[in-house]
Structure 1
Amino acid sequence: MGSCSNPVFEQQRQARIQGGSGICRRGLSKQCARDVAMTAPRIARYAANTTGRDFVVGDIHGAYTMLLVAMRRVGFEPKVDRLFCTGDLIDRGPESARVAKFLSLPYVHSVRGNHEDMLIQLSEGGYIPTFGSEHFLVRQNGLGWWDAEPVELKLEILAAIRKLPLVIEIETPRGIVGLLHAEVPLGLSWQQFVAKADEQDSKVIESLLWGRERIQGGNTSGVPGVGRVFVGHTPQMNGVSRFGNVYAIDTGAIFADLWDKEGASLTMMNLLHRSEVLLAPQDGVLNLLDEPVAQPFGSYT
């Protein structure tokens, strides 16, 4: 993937120069080195689930126990149900190191978030970064969990997150659902966006990992050419927000889990849930939206 012009991103890419240290993977097994070097398909497509339900969950940031509770509450059936994620599976939460095991589950499918991408970029060329407690990536991005993990687990984590696609498309009975971490640039149809992401267009890559223009500007124009789009990245502390056919479902799970922040919750939503979004979290910190309906998504398609 090409470099990004986002100044924060570029600053974090220089972490090794600014105080990070690390070890090279040289001397480790050739299999581990080969795994870490794997690259992801940029677009992943999934056929309709004809035997179970499809759920999407907002940014987890290491809150895996909280997610497990949510899955139990909705009666998640691993043999037939699927769980899609908006990325940012790691950082801030103390359970972040569970990410490789989580991604190995056959029913879990996630896009790459900017937090995964930062760690991938910092590990370019076989470098395994380490950070002190005062490093800016620890203070600002919640990477404090990384240093304590053994090298073997770090390699497993890097191998797992390198496989994450940038965009997911899912067929459903109501129409196509799109999934990415941050945003589809304003003015692009879904088909144009997917094509540019697949071509590694640098501006589109930056937007899908870091963008906030649509949400911060309250733009409700939506994304034509797709039924529904789910994004994370920009916390919505009062429940899911809807911007046309774009649903922002990062509702601050880790802030609810660690700090009991008012309004924060973990959102887990059936892809076919009715369009009227429930803004108030249910059960305090769990916002579980599982009221599927059958009619097509609507005019955006």
Structure 2
Amino acid sequence: MTPNHAPLVQHHAANATGRDFIVGDLHGCVEALRYLLREVEFDTARDRLFSVGDLIDRADCASCEAALALLEKPWFHAVLGNHEDSLCAVAEGRLPRYRWYGIGGGWAQHLSADALVQYGQRLRRLPLARVVGEGAQRFNLLHAEFLGSDADLDRAHFDADTRERMLWGRDIVLGTAEAPPREALSLTYVGHTPVREIRMIGSHFYLDTGAFITEGCLTIVEALTTRRWSVSMTDARAHGAAAIALP
């Protein structure tokens, strides 16, 4: 069994005093995130930022470690992505480092085994999914895709195939599986598969717009609204993102 030291699904009450935002796959693009948080006038006392995972990989070491540092922010709430899961597998001795390097983990080749274990222990506390609110105001977050219902998600009894799909699945976005309808599964924000523009497929809201790709961008959306903001790393840097402090 894959080690997991946290609840597989974590529930959050609706945000009664501020706004909730969701950010796509970060892959170390913290400068773009800084720019977007300034654009939305993020208020750490009232607002929350949820992440669909993949904070790391496909960037340099400093950028990936800066992304991992977000996990200590009280306003930041991530789910486990396949790239985090791969780091954990390396730290736990279940995956050779070179296999992880092949999908973007090369930033960590100079990290000691002890440092990698420490990151793995922190990442193992991330849930596979988060559920926010109830009823008509409910929304879910997970990394890749889910073919079940809200009730299935809340039950949090995932077999190995379901867990693999939640971290790696692309059948819905590729058209080889149908997304559950909104009547069965509440609005579910996902990443994993880069899309040129954010898109809805059934209950699934895809918002990984390829932040690490030269022609891509990082996207933030305000939950349960049509408001969205995007910026490329090139444009964020051109607008002084390196000098913008995180909230």
TM over 0.5: yes
Shift of 1:121: 1.8
> Which of the numbers 266, 270, 286 marks the counterpart of 2:218?
266
- Secondary structure (helix, strand or coil) at the match of 2:10 reads strand
Of structures 1 and 2, the one with the larger relative CO (CA 8 A, separation 6+) is 2
TM-score, scaled to structure 1: 0.69
Shift of 1:101: 1.6
* Equivalent residue, structure 1, for 2:81: 113
Give distance in 2, aligned partners of 1:143 and 1:90. 8
Give distance in 1, aligned partners of 2:47 and 2:168. 29
- Secondary structure (helix, strand or coil) at the match of 2:138 reads strand
Shift of 1:144: 1.1
Amino acid in structure 1 at the alignment position of 2:118: E
* Equivalent residue, structure 1, for 2:105: 143
Matches within 5 A, 1:98-177: 98-124=66-92, 127=93, 131=97, 135-138=98-101, 140-150=102-112, 153-171=115-133, 174-177=136-139
Shift of 1:230: 0.4
Give distance in 2, aligned partners of 1:189 and 1:52. 28
- Secondary structure (helix, strand or coil) at the match of 1:268 reads strand
Give distance in 1, aligned partners of 2:114 and 2:90. 17
Structure 1, residues 22-63: CA drift from partner, whole Å, max 9, x if none?
Answer: xxxxxxxxxxxxxxx871211100001111110000110111
The question of 1:81 aligning with 2:41 is answered: no
- Secondary structure (helix, strand or coil) at the match of 1:253 reads coil
Give distance in 2, aligned partners of 1:210 and 1:38. 17
Residues 112 and 165, structure 1, Cα contact 8 Å, conserved in 2: yes
Matches within 5 A, 1:17-56: 39-56=5-22
* Equivalent residue, structure 1, for 2:27: 61
Structure 1, residues 97-132: CA drift from partner, whole Å, max 9, x if none?
Answer: 2243210000000110111111112222xx49884x
* Equivalent residue, structure 1, for 2:174: 216
- Secondary structure (helix, strand or coil) at the match of 1:98 reads helix
Larger Rg: 1
* Equivalent residue, structure 1, for 2:140: 178
- Secondary structure (helix, strand or coil) at the match of 2:133 reads strand
The question of 1:191 aligning with 2:159 is answered: no
Shift of 1:157: 1.8
Residues 100 and 156, structure 1, Cα contact 8 Å, conserved in 2: no
Give distance in 2, aligned partners of 1:214 and 1:227. 16
Shift of 1:174: 4.7
Report the count of equivalent residues.
232
Give distance in 2, aligned partners of 1:40 and 1:211. 22
TM-score, scaled to structure 2: 0.83
Residues 1:157 and 1:202: Cα distance change in structure 2 (over 3 Å):
same
- Secondary structure (helix, strand or coil) at the match of 1:254 reads coil
Shift of 1:66: 1.2
Shift of 1:284: 5.8
Query: Which 5+ residue runs of structure 1 have no aligned equivalent?
Result: 3-36, 287-301
